[in-house]
Amino acid sequence: MRPIMLAVLAWCCANAQTADSPSFEVASVKPTAPNARPIMCKGGPGTTSPGIWTCTSVPLAFLISQAYHLQLWQFPPGVQSCCQGRFDITAKVPPGTTRPQFLLMMQKLLVDRFHLALHHEQKEMKVFELTVGEGGSKLKPTTHPDYEPPQDLWDLAPYTVGKDGYPEYEEGRARLAGMGDHYRWVGLKLTTAEIAKTLEDQLGGPVRDATGLKGTYDVDLKWTFDMTWILESSGHADMIPDLPTGSRGPNLQRAIQDQLGLKVTTKKGPGDIVVVDHVDAVPVENL
């Protein structure tokens, strides 16, 4: 009976936390039809359509990770297996809704329609420490002091592919994207703590900023995508490839060292992960 009671308590707590939370005025949530269009979300605060938020063919795991600010390593594949159903959503957003309020609305929607209940746990895992390399920092002070990140959660800068196989972005736009195994991250007006936070998702674990550097910086980082952490977390460490640093480009840790002048040290330590206690496969009918 104890696991059942824990799940019930977790569900009750989740509902109590969202009972007085802001909510969408109207929301339609429907399972995605077969052969639906690719994943897409648009609208909401900060966009040209702030009053209507729509998503098509979006996995439940994606909605949970967005609503609760989760990194991939916090919501690992074994946990996400519960939440692979895809849904189409249309929601009316109240006038004047801020981005933080919008995320609370997403959380309330997940609790009300899917009876989502989750909790955080500390787990021993690979953690990373970011320090200045032996040759000194190569970070460049920002040349975009007035830059403000877009308010739209899904406002992604368009890109083309350069002759070197890496994405190319418009000047003054920030984005992290990859084409094949060639990835590029352009970040503008970032503190080293923000750099560490972004690297968490790419390295697959918590990253602690121990650089001691102040100020804000622009980052332009290119690397070859490393599957190591994904294979390790899924129990397939024997399949980890020996990534070269030749024509394919450096792996991420080498790129951080060579291009930013920073060093990543791997350790063992606690990390915060999310466990789903309960979620319905089929949402509550639209009201």
User: What would the pLDDT profile of 149-172 be if each residue is shown by its tens digit?
Assistant: 876 666 677 889 999 999 999 999
How far CA 264 is from CA of 126, 194, 210, in Å, comes to 12, 15, 10
Domain segments of the chain: what residues? 2-122+274-278, 124-271
What tokens were used for 23? 């909510």
pLDDT at 106: 96
Angle at 181 between CA 128 and CA 160, to 5 degrees: 115
Q: Which of 20-24, 70-74, 150-154, 208-212 bottoms out in mean pLDDT, i.e. has the lowest? A: 150-154
Of 222, 220, 206, nearest to 265 (Cα)? Answer: 206
H, E, C per residue of the chain: CHHHHHHHHHHHHHHHHHCCCCCCCEEEEEECCCCCCCCEEEECCCCCCCCEEEEEEEEHHHHHHHHCCCCHHHCCHHHHHHHCCEEEEEEECCCCCCHHHHHHHHHHHHHHHHCCEEEEEEEEEEEEEEEECCCCCCCEECCCCCCCCCCCCCCCCCEEECCCCCEEECCCCCEEEEECCEEEEEEEEECHHHHHHHHHHHHCCCEEECCCCCCCEEEEEEEECCCHHHHHHCCCHHHCCCCCCCCCCCCHHHHHHHHHCEEEEEEEEEEEEEEEEECCCCCCCCC
Q: Which of 174-178, 213-217, 259-263 bottoms out in mean pLDDT, i.e. has the lowest? A: 174-178
Cβ-Cβ contacts under 8 Å for 126 (sequence gap 6 or more): 204, 205, 229, 232, 266, 267, 268
The rounded radius of gyration (Å) of the Cα atoms in the chain is: 21
- Round the average pLDDT of the chain to a whole number and report it: 84
pTM beyond 0.85: the answer is no
The CA distance from 182 to 198, in Å, is: 17
What tokens were used for 59? 């996995």
pLDDT tens digits, one per residue of 50-61: 999 999 999 899
Between 151 and 191, where is the model more confident? Answer: 191
pLDDT at 152: 66
